[in-house]
A and B are shown apart, each in its own frame.
Chain A
């Protein structure tokens, strides 16, 4: 099935925004509707933006009215940096439920749902396999709120896929993403003068570049990929290797025992190490990315290249400061530019 009327949630985030920009260039797509709880942070040419509440309760009406055939849900909060736990729970669990409800039902026009999830689904534990494949479940129940949210959201998606067999449901579990435009716990930690670690641990880390991240989402829109897919760059690095690629020393600022107390003590200093990241700093995680590659997707960057690219961006960051005006969304301006007869559009006389 090819997607012609697409709805993207979380369009104000990097993921959704860049994806919408990429899809805009595809002439076979008739309509792109972006919804989010906040104003977009990047400029769209023809994506129509609709602002919705946190729970996406009114989405069903938009889906029905615009006859949406493909819903791409990029809104899941997978980083404690993005939202406080309560808000994250509301968005991840209730939001997912409402979005799925909007896509389901006997008269729904939706034929494809792409759901952006996270490798936090697997968690990080002592007795994990070194490479998680899509069929594996986490060995223990989730220990952090964010992880249990992700698990619960995926459970809802799984139930939706079972009840709606004629809808192609793709779940993409992304590993940690890096890139100049992303702001995650890891980009913040790697921007510090030293790379923090837990004393006595050198966890395994896998990364995906922000461009690949958009690429994977686009691939899932272009192809029909029912099921769950891991999305991660080739190669698993050790944190010590990441530090040397970044050109920074590795600093054991967290003690092996009582690391949650130490993490709390670091917070006033501006170093945030949320629970799920602390587990990662201890045990690390690797994903088997072969299923998506077998489906025909190729990654532009390996984990190592992603970190190298990120290091370049970090070095250039002080020079870029204050360069250019950041994009600001203003409804009136956008509406004028799109619909006013006075605006001269390319391709029209």
Chain B
């Protein structure tokens, strides 16, 4: 029917990775909304101080963080304002021979809360949506940190310290399997004591619309000073990566396998935490 010359065949569509937008040099933020400037400022002031002087972080097993390719870091989560994510990111920055940015998955709550919505994605937070994790791990080959305990970890009371909560529904395992990215379990010691929670105030939680309203050693009676951490000694241990391409094609369809792997990761971190706590002579001095 047509006399028009045939158009060239479209290029292969299977490798969408090559079609990711190039990074424009004059941009202020990445496509995820991450700002090097804001992050750098925070890193040079607060994180630097916390990492080296306040928490005196000690890092083991940094070689388990891959230097290239996507990897999913899975860690325990604690403290009313959890400092663990920032310290893990800083540990990779300080100790790793090839430092890479770490993307932290955060609850959707943060995207909807004024102020936090502006800040969280500037410093590397990404809403915890499976599609986001997949894009970061598979398409962009980045490092992603998840806390499968989510808010159940950070809101737990001091009496439950270092006892891992349920690991969600294993969504993080599925995400790693789909991206064929290794899972790197991480055990963090110290965050529980940096800002322990003794109780929750339900009424104030509803009034402020925050995810929880805790009572910590310094909050709420000291107001904004309550955001200060206690100087607990931090130990961050990166464990051996678990490859997720060892189970054949489409392992994520096997719900049982996903649950088993999630439980295995949880058990590894729990064992490591028990080991870390039992070898710790002082909460503050390590």
Contacts and interface: CB of A to CB of B under 8 A. Distances in A.
Interface of A: 1-2, 28, 126-131, 133, 136, 198-202, 204, 222-223, 234-238, 240-241, 244, 256, 282-283, 286, 288-291, 293-296, 302, 304
A25 to B, nearest CB: 14
A222 B7 contact: yes
Most-contacted residue by chain B among A129, A240, A286, A296 (CB, 10 A): A129
Contact of A200 (B7, B11, B117, B129): B117
A127 B127 contact: yes
Interface stretch (B28-36, B67-75, B219-227): B28-36
Interface in B185-241: none
B31 A235 contact: yes
A167 B249 CA distance: 36
B248 interface: no
Interface in B124-142: 126-127, 129-132, 135
Interface in B99-157: 108-109, 111-118, 121-122, 126-127, 129-132, 135
Contacts of A304: 24, 26-27
Nearest to A252: B114
B256 interface: no
Contacts of A244: 28
A130 B135 contact: yes
A234 B19 CA distance: 10
B27 A241 contact: yes
Interface in B13-30: 13, 16, 19-22, 24, 26-29
Given A2-B4, A296-B8, A304-B27, A238 B33 contact: yes
Contacts of A201: 114, 117-118
B97 interface: no
B278 interface: no
B229 to A, nearest CB: 24
B4 A290 contact: no
Contacts of A202: 33, 117-118, 122
Given A200-B118, A202-B118, A241-B28, 19 more contacts: A2-B1, A2-B2, A28-B2, A130-B31, A130-B127, A200-B115, A201-B117, A204-B33, A223-B10, A234-B21, A235-B24, A241-B29, A290-B16, A290-B19, A291-B13, A291-B16, A294-B10, A295-B10, A296-B11
Contacts of B21: 234-235, 289, 302
Interface of B: 1-4, 7-8, 10-13, 16, 19-22, 24, 26-29, 31-33, 35, 108-109, 111-118, 121-122, 126-127, 129-132, 135
Nearest to A283: B111
Given A1-B1, A127-B108, A235-B31, A133 B131 contact: yes
Contacts of B13: 291, 294-295
Contacts of A133: 131
Given A295-B10, A302-B21, A127 B129 contact: yes
A2 B204 CA distance: 65
A129 B131 contact: yes
21 contacts: A1-B2, A28-B2, A28-B4, A129-B130, A130-B126, A130-B129, A130-B131, A131-B131, A133-B131, A136-B131, A200-B115, A201-B117, A201-B118, A202-B118, A236-B31, A237-B27, A238-B29, A240-B29, A282-B117, A295-B13, A302-B24
B27 A200 contact: no
Contacts of B33: 202, 204, 236, 238
A330 B22 CA distance: 47
A128 B108 CA distance: 8
Contacts of A290: 16, 19-20
Contact of B29 (A126, A199, A237, A296): A237
Contacts of B31: 130-131, 204, 235-236, 286
